[in-house]
Amino acid sequence: MDCLFCKIVAGEIPARKFYEDDQVIAFHDIGAQAPVHFLVIPKKHIATLNDLDEGDQALAGLLLLTAQRLANQQGCDDGFRLVMNCKALGGQTVYHVHMHVLGQRQMTWPPG
């Protein structure tokens, strides 16, 4: 499958991966927008948030809890931001579900 993040999961493209379990991996974003900026992704290919279904409920929760735990391990205990972009208007550029974790700088609202 021609999916960048599936290739990172398979180890076919290098990434600064720092966490892996049987269902998810986490790696630093190549275009970091904050001092801490990493992505938590399912190993299974799911193109967009719209492609999640009820069978993915536990996996979706695992992404969230993994992001929370790793954010704190990366020193973001004063706060952090989670972002999931869905499809074109949501700003999604890589069509494999991922959760951005951003931290170690002040976030503002609303986003651009």
Active site residues: 98
35 counts as binding ligand 5GP under rule CB under 6 A: no
Nearer to ligand 5GP, 62 or 83 (CB): 83
**Contact by Cβ (8 Å): 58, 44:** no
- Residue 112 Cβ vs Zn ion, minimum distance, rounded to whole Å: 26
- Residue 108 is a binding residue for ligand 5GP (CB under 6 A): no
Of 5 and 38, CB closest to Zn ion: 5
The full DSSP string for 28-95 is E-TT-SSSEEEEEEESS---SGGG--GGGHHHHHHHHHHHHHHHHHTT-TT-EEEE---HHHHT--SS
The binding site for ligand 5GP (CB under 6 A) comprises 4, 15, 27, 29-31, 85, 91-94
